[in-house]
Chain A
Amino acid sequence: AQSVAQPEDQVNVAEGNPLTVKCTYSVSGNPYLFWYVQYPNRGLQFLLKYITGDNLVKGSYGFEAEFNKSQTSFHLKKPSALVSDSALYFCAVREEGRGSTLGRLYFGRGTQLTVWP
Chain B
Amino acid sequence: DAMVIQNPRYQVTQFGKPVTLSCSQTLNHNVMYWYQQKSSQAPKLLFHYYDKDFNNEADTPDNFQSRRPNTSFCFLDIRSPGLGDAAMYLCATSRTRDSPDTQYFGPGTRLTVL
Which residues of A come within 8 Å of B, CB atoms?
Answer: 30, 32, 34, 36, 41-46, 49, 51, 88, 90, 94-105, 107-110
Contact = CB atoms under 8 A, between A and B. Distances in A.
Chain B CB count within 10 A is highest, among A44, A51, A95, A99, for A44
B41 interface: yes
A43 B42 contact: no
A19 to B, nearest CB: 20
Contacts of B50: 100, 102
Interface residues of B, number: 27
A109 B43 contact: no
A88 B43 CA distance: 12
Interface string B15-44: 000000000000000010000000011110
A104 B42 contact: no
A99 B97 contact: yes
